[in-house]
Amino acid sequence: MSKIRSRDTQVEKLVFRELARHGIYFQKYYKRAIGNPDIALPKKKIAVFIDGDFWHGYQFLKLKKRLPKEYWLEKIERNVKRDKLYRAKLKRQGWKVLRVWEHEVRKDFEKTIKKVIVFLK
């Protein structure tokens, strides 16, 4: 468990590197916005979250049946609820929010990067 990273994951590093290559300035893990968005443009109030499929509950209803312990069910359910709450709060504060899933980045990197770049501009 200690090897599992909560930030600077491989997927995040790929996205950060590509955005920098395109000359897009952004702040990583912006602490002044609720939820610490992975990518933030504070002046424009734009936030992007790059979420891991397992930890943030992608297709959680299917996965739920296979998880071995109640601890994991509760943990992931809490993460999903927290993510929804943070997104709603950010929107109420005037932020535009985009969520990018880990599998999207891995499956079709170019398409996902274009989506993020268009959202940031």
Contact present, 90 and 33 (Cβ < 8 Å):
yes
pLDDT digits over 70-114, tens only?
787 888 889 999 999 999 999 999 999 999 999 999 999 999 999
Count CB-CB contacts under 10 A for residue 28.
13
Q: Where are the beta strands (DSSP E) in 1-121?
A: 27-28, 39-41, 46-51, 96-101
102 found inside a domain = yes
d(Cα 50, Cα 105) in Å, to the nearest integer? Answer: 9
Phi and psi torsions of 27, nearest 5°: -110, 135
Count CB-CB contacts under 10 A for residue 100.
21
Tally the domains of the chain.
1
* Domain CATH code at residue 43: 3.40.960.10
**Percentage of the chain modeled with pLDDT above 70:** 88
5 found inside a domain = no
Domain ranges, residue 110: 10-120
4 found inside a domain = no
